[in-house]
Structure 1
Amino acid sequence: MEWELGLILGSKTRARGDGSKGVKMLLIVNNADVNAQCGFYGSALQAASSKGREKAVQLLLNNNADVNAQCGFYGSALQAASIWGYENIVQLLLENNADVNAQGGEYRSALQAASAGGHEKIVQLLLENNADVNAQSEQDGNALQAASAGGHQKVVQLLLKNNADVNAQCGFYGSALQAASAEGHKKIVQLLIDKNADVNAQGGQYGNALQAASEAGYEKIVQLLIINNADVNAEGGECGSALQAASAGGHEKIVQLLLETNADVNAEGGEYGNALQAASARGHEKVVQLLLNKIQANESITGIIVV
């Protein structure tokens, strides 16, 4: 059945239609099971929803398609329509009792899917239908993190306006601030800080926002975080510290900035052990020299003779 759905629900430029006639023929001629679960999409309804085929969605619903079937890559038809920005289909599914807070699939929830895609109108629609703005999963985060990572400032503002927890801890990034910092979205970083995001919150892959920005090489975000009292020597994350993260990435200007703001050049921890080892392992000669100069300067101040 999956190949038939592919022909019916495939490229709009090829099909030049909404797929409803093909779906109707498949249902009538082959007596197809409208709720059969298989393949990437999981169900016919999810396939139609992900491709924006509104009339096909309506036809499937008229033939008792399960609007809340959990299956396939997207998890549900509502999530599929939400990630791709098909507002009319989202509305149609909600009118047919789609569970707005169902959990599952690649994006965990419809709200998180719409937020990740930057679809402001769908986010608003889901919130108006009682989507849980703070729904989260340990692995995949929440809607605010998804919007922050994607750089969708208007969606971030909308979620915050609807009481999204700016300091919620979960997922790969750990927090919305860390997500925005890791992906280089300075305006969102500033917005989150203005909304009282904890600049030193610990969690996630990178440990904290400063380490995330340092590893990715976003100098202006590093400056912004430091201005807002980020702890330059905070420990945690895969690199142990912001200095080690910047050193591993070969970001000379960030290394210099961190050293100028009293980053501990000899701090130990993380994947490489310390900043000098990180820069050496990655072959960043200029950073190695910068760190050595700092180490020698420190030793000179403490009265140790440097050979």
Structure 2
Amino acid sequence: MSSCPLVLSGRHTMALTPFLKQDMDFTECYGDSVSSVAAAARCGCRQRVRRLIKRGFSVDCRDNRGWRALHEAAAAGSEDCVREILSAAGGSSSGCRAYVNSLTHEGESACYLAARHGHLAVVRLLLKAHANINQLTNDLSCPLYAAVDGGYKEVVELLVSKGAEVNRTHTASCWTCLHQAVYKGHSEIVRILVNVCNLEALDDHKISPLFVAAQYGQQECLEILVNAGANVSTQAADLATPLLIASQEGHQACVDFLLDHGADPNIACSHDWPQLPIHAAAEFGHIGVLRRLIAVTDRVCDRGDGMVSPLYVAVHRHQSKSVEVLLREGYSPDAQDCTHILGLCSPLSFALCSTSNKPYSESVRLLIAAGASLNEEDWIYALATDKTDLLQLILEHRWIPRPETLTRNCSVPHHHGKTVLKLQEMRGLLCVALNQVHFAACWLPLLLKAGLEPSLLLQPHMFEQADSEVLNYLLEFVNWSTLSLPLKHILDRRRAEKTWEPCPYFESITCLSHICRLRVRSVLGPDVLMRTNVIQQLPVPSPLHGFLQFRNIPEASYKHSPPSALSDRIQEHSSTHQHRHVL
């Protein structure tokens, strides 16, 4: 997922091919082929130019660039040399006109060279000599475009007053002079051009000058264009608006000005999905812009069908600050299911997928802390691994409810400041846990200490697949003498096969102290018993506190060698997963 990349100028640099590199000798230095008159003109030496002309030296000779003496004089800004050379160029008006409009090999006229260097007097003189004011160079530039590019306001004023074509497109990207003036930030020139140029001129990407101002943060130029009547909600070929591009680039002042002057923050800015300016700000972490857009953007993008929450793009670019701001401002951590648009079912699933082989990102922490719903795939990331950091993070912010309190209520209740896992989330947890028994030594202690009712795991699959230590650890949390016959049969078979070695006291009658703590847990509830200080408030000796909370039971050790990468394990789980409905 990306943010609609925008290319304005289409400029590319071509690398030399290997055979050209081998054939070209860059150490050889070629001599200057400029004529004597041209050399004098380059230095601005009028008297020397005059002497050379009187001695019969030609003003018509070209150097290896196709430059004549007039080109040198114009580029150097020597008005006097230009006069001398024009005087010698030909007696007739037609001869002088042909000479003054002669071009270099790059298609540059003397007027173009003078304008490019801001030589006002020389440009004025050449125009009087009938220089072609609109002559194009090989790269489609012209005297006016060159003066605009250089920021030479007086030259621009002169050329415009003399009838220069102001709306012609130049360069490979089809920019007008107004585009270039805005791009360079020449605000005084923009003030001149807005009175004579087409404000809505479009380049080859259908980008207007106002769009250019927004993209490059040229606030003063933007204000000039808007005040002159330019459309603030114009859209480029890819549907991007000035507000979108200013938000993407983080130009706060431009964003504020556009919004204050009618720019619509709810225009879809992409052919692929309904991208809005708020998405661009979130994706690139421009927090000030993001806060401004949150206040004016329609919240339908948060949960609406067919829309995409800005949380998705913030997660995509690991912009945790954007995630934090959006959640704080009330955007749903669950957003909407964007499987049909982006191939993603939730921001949390996307965040977990993006960091499956790394420490879990700040975005994951923020989404879980905000109450993002956990589906089966999310639980796989927490349970199908020998790493427990994600599961610990989840349990830090989630409360495992008692089975009897679970309902189909889709609301998100809270208990002791934590979000309570919903029925569907509990089903996903237990289903994945029972399919990941080989990692039970890692997740089982955490879940039981977090208040999971142990009887929920008294399932045939658990008894058949669990390691001997894991199975003993689980049995320590229940009354092993009251197991169902099918489970006892599995234990008998495993003991006979020597795949399970029970604790010695499992053979005897359950001790009264163990039965008592099971009763205490039943009365208080496993969640309250394991996650609160209620035990410390009971009238029992303090040495019993740890016993009543089952802290005396040694944990099983994880004995499997680390398998393949988590992403591969998740792929394997998805292909072999069986839905085990416990609740």
Match of 2:60 in 1: 34
Match of 2:122 in 1: 89
Note closer, same or farther for the CA distance 1:300–1:202 as it changes in structure 2 (3 Å cut): closer
Note closer, same or farther for the CA distance 1:6–1:143 as it changes in structure 2 (3 Å cut): farther
Note closer, same or farther for the CA distance 1:204–1:54 as it changes in structure 2 (3 Å cut): farther
- How far the C-alpha of 1:183 sits from its partner, in A, is 2.5
CA distance in 2, matches of 1:238, 1:28: 71
Instruction: Determine whether 1:48 maps to 2:73.
Output: yes
Instruction: Determine whether 1:262 maps to 2:297.
Output: yes
- How far the C-alpha of 1:88 sits from its partner, in A, is 0.8
1:146 is matched with which residue: 180, 186, 190? 180
CA contact (8 A) 1:107 1:140 kept: no
Q: Classify the secondary structure of the residue corresponding to 1:229.
A: coil
Flag the structure with larger Rg: 2
Note closer, same or farther for the CA distance 1:146–1:123 as it changes in structure 2 (3 Å cut): same
Match of 2:146 in 1: 113
Query: Comparing 234-243 with 48-57, which one deviates more in the overlay?
Result: 234-243
Note closer, same or farther for the CA distance 1:173–1:291 as it changes in structure 2 (3 Å cut): farther
Q: Classify the secondary structure of the residue corresponding to 1:66.
A: helix
- How far the C-alpha of 1:62 sits from its partner, in A, is 3.8
Match of 2:32 in 1: 3
Note closer, same or farther for the CA distance 1:225–1:24 as it changes in structure 2 (3 Å cut): same
CA contact (8 A) 1:115 1:143 kept: yes
Query: Comparing 200-209 with 142-151, which one deviates more in the overlay?
Result: 200-209
CA distance in 2, matches of 1:283, 1:7: 64
Instruction: Determine whether 1:189 maps to 2:226.
Output: no
CA distance in 1, matches of 2:303, 2:113: 49
Match of 2:467 in 1: none
Match of 1:100 in 2: 133
- How far the C-alpha of 1:90 sits from its partner, in A, is 0.5
- How far the C-alpha of 1:222 sits from its partner, in A, is 0.5
Identity of aligned residues (%): 23
Task: For structure 1, list consecutive stretches of 5 or more residues without a partner in the other structure.
Answer: 268-272
Note closer, same or farther for the CA distance 1:107–1:182 as it changes in structure 2 (3 Å cut): farther
Q: Classify the secondary structure of the residue corresponding to 1:136.
A: coil
- The number of residues matched between the two structures is 295
Match of 2:260 in 1: 227
CA contact (8 A) 2:134 2:142 kept: yes
- How far the C-alpha of 1:209 sits from its partner, in A, is 1.7
Match of 1:174 in 2: 207
CA contact (8 A) 2:111 2:126 kept: yes
Match of 2:99 in 1: 66
TM (norm. structure 2) is: 0.43
Note closer, same or farther for the CA distance 1:116–1:266 as it changes in structure 2 (3 Å cut): farther
Instruction: Determine whether 1:57 maps to 2:92.
Output: no
- How far the C-alpha of 1:256 sits from its partner, in A, is 2.6
Instruction: Determine whether 1:297 maps to 2:332.
Output: yes
- How far the C-alpha of 1:223 sits from its partner, in A, is 1.0
- How far the C-alpha of 1:242 sits from its partner, in A, is 3.0
TM (norm. structure 1) is: 0.75
CA deviation digits over 1:206-264, x for unaligned, max 9? 93322332233210110111122223234149996534443454322212322332164
Task: For structure 2, list consecutive stretches of 5 or more residues without a partner in the other structure.
Answer: 1-29, 90-97, 338-345, 347-370, 374-583
CA distance in 2, matches of 1:58, 1:171: 41
Q: Classify the secondary structure of the residue corresponding to 1:3.
A: coil
Instruction: Determine whether 1:199 maps to 2:222.
Output: no
Bigger RCO of structures 1 and 2 (CA < 8 A, at least 6 apart): 1
CA deviation digits over 1:18-44, x for unaligned, max 9? 1556767888999667353644x8555
Q: Classify the secondary structure of the residue corresponding to 2:158.
A: helix
The letter for the 2-side match of 1:188 is C
2:191 is matched with which residue: 151, 157, 166? 157
CA deviation digits over 1:34-80, x for unaligned, max 9? 353644x8555334323323334334434438322344567332222
Q: CA RMSD in A?
A: 4.3
CA distance in 2, matches of 1:238, 1:19: 63
Match of 2:372 in 1: 306
